[in-house]
Amino acid sequence: MNEELQKPVNTKAIKDLLSLNDSARIKSWLSICSRCGLCAESCFFYLAKNKDPKLSPAYKVKATLLELYKRKGQVDRAFLQKCHDIAWGECTTCKRCSLFCPFGIDIATMISTVRSICHSQGVVPEGLVRTSTNYRESGNQMGMATEDFEETCSWMAEEANDDIRGVEIPVDRAGARIMYTVNAREPMYYPQDISMMAQIFTVVGESWTLPSTGWDCTNLPMFAGDKALAGQVVKRMYDKAVELGVEAIAITECGHAYRSALFEGPYLAGYRDGKPPVPVIHSVRLFYEYLRDGRIKIDPQKMVEEPLTYQDPCNVSRNGGLWREGREILKYLAKDFRDMTPNSEYNHCCGGGGGFIPMGPEFKRRRMESGRVKAEQIRATGAKIVVAPCHNCTDQINDLNKEYQLGIKVVSFKELITERMIVPDEFKPVASEEE
Ligand code: SF4
Ligand code: SF4
């Protein structure tokens, strides 16, 4: 018999978790669910696998959390492994199903509780365990040293000056208006993202800084069911913002980072009123304001001519409320915008959310199968370009592009804006002035 399955289960710890915080609310959801099935068609896992009833949101909760309550936490490792497979492999906690439930039952919150229970017994996808170790040891998901981060920033500032004169990337500048935070994949794999944002900030004359700690706004422990670590991760960012005395924390084009900083993070970090200590703004909102206020002007000759569509990241649009802003930005940038069906707050998850991408190769097949719904949505638009203001969506749609041969390119708002904004003369690099 598998050794893992022989390990003892701390059923008292499970029972304690079942009676914590949310238990009254969760018990009431479990008792009022009428099994009407209205949530089923809302879930892309269900739709992607021939409407398998076992993939309906209500069933996923019935097979895991309801059972845990019924058994009062007296379960074995085989049962926990089943919970693991459902909670991480069959739900991205995208919250779409709640929009369709007549009682507004929050399936995602219940699945997150299942994840916490599995985590308490060490039953967690390996990929997420690795990122948690990185957060613990270095404060960011990539395990990047502070010196390397600061070095990357200064290298990117140098590079940015090839395009925009006078770009600086200030670190720990007290009293700046905005503390800009990034996804750790940016300094590690896509440093040009930092350079592009610095160019935009320079042209609009923004007062900004990057922090030397708490600069990684991602929060994968939130998806690993590790609430204690998730609280530490987000608190590190809040504390730095308070220390620097900034007016707002700005979040890069990342969906779950916004979910963490804006509405899950305060509770995780112990703010009982549910409000972050410093206001949080997503870069989609920032870009919208800069364009609306004329601080960024787009060269009409450079507007995108090819058909283009927009991927609403669940945690930016549905859960973050910014679906209108995303489309307003596109009015400045694209001539042939084609929305997906459904879209905005009703858009389907890309299939890479909820920690799915960092969960690693063993989950990739499921990710590709369930992503069929997104691939079909994109194909139906006829778009050649997909704008995705989220790193997870970008990675997932790039994988779907290969899997389903969509023939598309995935871009961020930063890329579209920096390539098309009108650069005032004072910011033109000396070489281009002389030309
Ligand atoms: S939260 Fe999203 S992925 Fe999870 S069951 Fe609901 S619709 Fe499906
Ligand atoms: S729609 Fe709501 S009440 Fe109906 S099965 Fe789904 S969770 Fe239960």
Query: Is a pLDDT exceeding 90 seen at residue 7?
Result: no
306 and 340 within one domain: yes
Among 28, 30, 38, name the best residue to mutate to test ligand 2's pocket (greatest count of ligand atoms within 8 A of Cβ): 38
Domain-located, residue 153: yes
Distance CA 58, CA 19 (A): 21
Confidence at residue 1, expressed as pLDDT on a 0 to 100 scale: 44
> 425 CB contacts (<8 Å, ≥6 apart)?
433
Q: Is residue 429 part of a domain?
A: no
Q: Is any ligand 2 atom within 6 A of the Cβ of residue 104?
A: no
Among protein residues, the one whose CA lies closest to atom 3 of ligand 1: 91
Q: Please indicate, yes or no, if residue 427 is contained in any of the structural domains.
A: no
Q: Are residues 165 and 282 in the same domain?
A: yes
280 part of a folded domain: yes
Q: Compute the mean pLDDT over every residue in the chain, rounded to the nearest whole number.
A: 96
Q: Number of helices (H) and strands (E), helices first, in the chain?
A: 23, 7
**183 and 70 housed in the same domain:** no
- 173 pLDDT higher than 90: yes
Proportion of the chain in helix, strand, coil states, percent, rounded to 5: 55, 5, 40
Domain carrying residue 13? 3-123
Pocket lining for ligand 1, CB < 6 angstroms: 42-43, 45, 57, 60, 91-97, 107-108, 349
425 located within any domain: no
In this structure, the answer to whether residues 185 and 216 fall within a common structural domain is yes
pLDDT at 433 over 60: no
Say yes or no to pLDDT of 165 above 50. Answer: yes
Residue range 107-127, pLDDT digits in tens: 999 999 999 999 999 999 999
The size of the chain, in residues, is 435
Ligand 2 centroid – CA 420 distance (Å): 46
Q: At what angle do helices 126-138 and 227-244 cross, to 10 degrees?
A: 30
Q: Is 385 in the pocket of ligand 2 (CB under 6 A)?
A: no
Distance, in Å, from the CA atom of 124 to the CA atom of 118, rounded to the nearest integer, reads 7
The DSSP result for 160-221, as a single string, is HTTTSTT----BS-TT-SEEEEB-THHHHH-THHHHHHHHHHHHHT--EEB-SSS-B---TH
Task: Output the residue whose Cα is nearest ligand 2's atom 3.
Answer: 33
Q: Which residue minimizes the CA distance to atom 7 of ligand 1?
A: 43
Asked if residue 150 and residue 99 are part of one domain, the reply reads no
Same domain, 320 and 269: no
**280 and 211 assigned to the same domain:** yes
Over residues 59-64, the mean pLDDT reads 98
> Atom 4 in ligand 1: which residue has the minimum CA distance?
91
Atom of ligand 2 nearest to the CA of 35: 5
Question: Total structural domains in the chain?
Answer: 3
d(CA 221, CA 135): 8
**What are residue 304's DSSP bridge partners?**
334
Predicted pLDDT at 2: 59
Alpha helices in 221-317 (DSSP H): 221-224, 227-244, 255-258, 265-268, 283-292
Question: Is the Cα dihedral 24, 30, 31, 37 positive or negative?
Answer: positive
178 shares a domain with 245: yes
Domain boundary among 258, 288, 318: 288
Taking residues 248-260, what's their average pLDDT?
A: 98
Predicted confidence at residue 6, as pLDDT, reads 77
* Alpha-carbon gap, residue 156 to 192, rounded angstroms: 7
Tens-place pLDDT, residues 126-145 = 999 999 999 999 999 999 99
Ligand 2 atom 7 nearest Cα:
58
Q: What is the pLDDT of residue 248?
A: 98
Instruction: Tell me: do 223 and 155 sit in the same domain.
Output: yes
Proportion of the chain above pLDDT 70, given as a percent: 97
**252 and 223 fall within a common domain:** yes
433 in a structural domain:
no
Q: Do 374 and 231 share a structural domain? A: no
Residue nearest to atom 4 of ligand 2 (CA): 36
Global confidence as pTM: 0.95
120-123 long-range contacts (CB < 8 A, ≥24 apart) are 120/10, 120/13, 120/14, 120/17, 120/225, 121/9, 121/10, 121/13, 121/14, 121/77, 121/80, 123/77, 123/80, 123/81, 123/83, 123/84
Does residue 310 form part of some domain? yes
Does residue 39 have its Cβ closer than 6 Å to ligand 2?
yes
Boundary (domain end) residue, out of 288, 315, 336: 288
Average pLDDT over every residue of 400-411: 98
CA 312 – CA 258 distance, rounded (Å): 13
- What is the CATH classification number for the domain harbouring 42? 1.10.1060
Residues 6+ apart with CB under 8 A from 21: none
Distance (Å) from CA 27 to ligand 2 centroid: 14
pLDDT in tens, 77-95: 999 999 999 999 999 999 9
Tell me, in angstroms, the distance from the centre of ligand 1 to residue 42's CA. 8
Q: Are 99 and 346 in contact (CB under 8 A)?
A: yes
Please check whether residue 428 lies inside any domain of the structure.
no
pLDDT on residue 435: 47
pLDDT value at 432 more than 60: no
Taking only the tens place, the pLDDT of each residue in 264-322 is: 999 999 999 999 999 999 999 999 999 999 999 999 999 999 999 999 999 999 999 99
Distance 19 CA to ligand 1 centre (A): 24
Asked if residues 82 and 96 have their Cβ atoms less than 8 Å apart, the reply is no
Select from 123, 154, 179 the last residue of a domain. Answer: 123
CATH classification at residue 364:
3.40.50
Same domain? For 282 and 146 the reply is: yes
